[in-house]
Amino acid sequence: MIYDPLELTTELIKCRSVTPKNDGAIELLSERLDRIGFNCEIVEFSEDNSESIKNLWAIIGNGSPVLSFAGHTDVVPEGDESLWNTPPFEGKNDGEKIIGRGAADMKGSISSFISAASIFLENKEEFNGSIALIITGDEEGPAINGTEKLLSWMEENNHTFDDCIVGEPTNPNKLGEMIKIGRRGSTNITIKVNGVEGHVAYPKLAENPIPNLISLLNELIDKPFDQGNEHFDASNIEITSIDTDNLASNVIPSDITARLNIRYNSNFTKEKIETEIKRRLKNINFDYEINYQHSGDSFITKPGKLATSLSKIIEGHCGITPDLSTTGGTSDARFIKNYGRVIEFGLVGSSMHKANEFSYNNDIEKLRDIYLDLIQEYFTQ
């Protein structure tokens, strides 16, 4: 049985799987993969103060090497539906493109890989190794009960892989432009400075925390963290908000809070980031509170056989030599890299998270062909 990637993309979009809802998306994939011989396990995780999430592990073959594909069926909310030209969960195919939430990020790439696997298995009764899928329903949300827990479950149950392709929409504007071989780390920082509330006309009876925070922030942002390296741009820190919750113009506030985000390259780890922040603030002589929330460490998968093969295949189909990049935000690759080699390649991301998100039919079909050639080459090496 061979699956049409366009039809499967539309079927998946019809599942209103806005995080943390599943709406049958995981079951749909499990059923389709089961039909072509995959052994499928739907694994559900939950913990206090978070939604229960369904995830999917599927595998076919015998032993190593194991080539896996990782993706997510959950999508961001549709936003203002009046801005859409077609219902966001209809998955309309107008003959040129498929429009719908998740068409680019990333139901189209999941469908392309499953279609590629179905063609490979239809034409090859036996092959040396295994094909696996690691699918979560919790990538766009807090990522508490998704890929990270699924990988731990896989380890406990002796499910391993050698190489993994994550189907994120890596291409900025045109299919074939970019393969992701790493990601920057991300740390959110909250800093609170306390003062003494009072009337602005009597400053000696109060202590304004705002000037203190300003001096503290200047210490943090005065100098760059680094100059980057071979694979990464320079690390950067951004102030994202400063709040006093003060609505009165004649009151000195009692406290002020700043929020910052650091995107850091492989020169740093989360531990080194905290050490660097502490070093920069060593001369601050007033009390402040600081909290860190780390959402993924930096990593690099140094270009090897998989990236080299994929690059050549992309060039053959798209006429482009893709950049090997580490730009962008975080993805589930930040978890996967702890268990095997991982790279990312999917559709074009220019419309993701927007109204009228779409992918061109030709791109979805071409991505299927790229994945198919990669699977075939992987198991003939």
| Residues designated catalytic | 74, 139
334 CB-side CA count, 13 A: 22
From residue 191, alpha-carbon distances to 194, 222, 239, 264, 294 in Å are: 10, 17, 11, 19, 15
